[in-house]
């Protein structure tokens, strides 16, 4: 352990990928197709997908949801981590992005594990609560519109079981959260949520500086 977190140079990141990555063919194909997409930066990094895989194994997750599916890399990681008994509710609004996801999920044999719901996430989450699903989920991944994060976080706390885990992506927002001159709606939303979570006694938390910053919050 060190007292400081190391910034990764391009060389060191390449080394991490070389010696630390177990990405399989299905995930690699999906990542490579997404890399040519104009919104490719919305895809999680492969090391982050691998980290989520380990977390799901550690907590023995069987039932998860994600807010923000994009081209389906994180959902595919979750499906593979949990095995055929694992279930994922995938929330998104884009038919275009998720059509890429569905094609790759089918090829990887994980489609039957993933229930994709295309409508504003807050509506889908309200429907899950109304259906009596409070306290039944093991894991939640939040990676969508940043101004919606606080709403998704509150729904996640409702829908998770005690001991369940929330992972929230992009909490460092390329460093903009630490720049007082940055006042965009997205930056302010993330800054406010970060301040709220560190003080939130409903959870145990850690802001992990992997990728663009990933906050883990375990429901007490
Ligand atoms: Ca993200």
Domain that holds residue 73: 10-219
pLDDT of residue 220: 98
Number of folded domains that form the chain:
1
Q: Which three-class secondary structure string do you get for 81-99?
A: HHCCCCEEEEEECCHHHHH
Task: Supply the CATH number for residue 70's domain.
Answer: 3.40.50.150
Distance 215 CA to ligand 1 centre (A): 12
Distance 147 CA to ligand 1 centre (A): 13
pLDDT of residue 45: 86
Give domain status of residue 170, yes or no: yes
Give domain status of residue 24, yes or no: yes
Distance 81 CA to ligand 1 centre (A): 19
Distance 167 CA to ligand 1 centre (A): 11
Distance 214 CA to ligand 1 centre (A): 9
Q: Which two tokens stand for residue 98?
A: 């998720």
7 CB contacts (<8 Å, ≥6 apart)? none
Pairing of strands 87-92, 114-118: parallel
Give domain status of residue 157, yes or no: yes
Give domain status of residue 58, yes or no: yes
Pairing of strands 63-67, 87-92: parallel
Distance 200 CA to ligand 1 centre (A): 23
Distance 204 CA to ligand 1 centre (A): 22
Distance 173 CA to ligand 1 centre (A): 9
Distance 210 CA to ligand 1 centre (A): 11
Distance 43 CA to ligand 1 centre (A): 6
Give domain status of residue 178, yes or no: yes
- State how far the Cα of 143 lies from the Cα of 146, in Å rounded to an integer: 8
Distance 97 CA to ligand 1 centre (A): 14
For every one of its 220 residues, what pLDDT tens digit does the chain have, with 9 covering 90 and above? 567 777 889 999 899 989 999 999 999 999 999 999 888 888 888 889 999 999 999 999 999 999 999 999 999 999 999 999 999 999 999 999 999 999 999 999 999 999 999 999 999 999 999 999 999 999 999 999 999 999 999 999 999 999 999 999 999 999 999 999 999 999 999 999 999 999 999 999 999 998 899 999 999 9
Distance 104 CA to ligand 1 centre (A): 19
Distance 90 CA to ligand 1 centre (A): 15
Distance 145 CA to ligand 1 centre (A): 9
- State how far the Cα of 200 lies from the Cα of 144, in Å rounded to an integer: 21
Distance 192 CA to ligand 1 centre (A): 18
């Amino acid at each position: 352990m060190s007292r400081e977190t190391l910034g990764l140079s391009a060389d060191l990141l390449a080394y991490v990928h070389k010696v630390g990555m177990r990405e399989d063919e299905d995930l690699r194909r999906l990542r490579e197709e997404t890399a040519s997409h104009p919104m490719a930066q919305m895809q999680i990094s492969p090391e982050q997908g691998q980290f989520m895989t380990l977390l799901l194994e550690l907590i023995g997750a069987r039932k998860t949801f994600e807010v923000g599916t994009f081209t389906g890399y994180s959902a595919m990681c979750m499906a593979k981590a949990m095995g055929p008994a694992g279930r994922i509710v995938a929330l998104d609004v884009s038919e275009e992005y998720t059509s890429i996801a569905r094609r790759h999920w089918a090829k990887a044999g994980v489609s039957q594990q993933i229930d994709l719901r295309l409508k504003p996430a807050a509506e889908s989450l309200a429907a899950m609560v109304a259906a009596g699903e409070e306290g039944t989920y093991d894991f939640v991944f939040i990676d969508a519109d940043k101004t919606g994060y606080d709403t998704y976080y509150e729904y996640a706390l409702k829908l998770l079981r005690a001991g369940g885990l929330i992972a929230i992506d992009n909490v460092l927002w390329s460093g903009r959260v630490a720049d007082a001159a940055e006042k965009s709606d997205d930056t302010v939303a993330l800054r406010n949520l970060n301040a709220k979570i560190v003080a939130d006694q409903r959870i145990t938390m850690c802001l992990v500086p992997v990728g663009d910053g990933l906050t883990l919050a375990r429901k007490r």
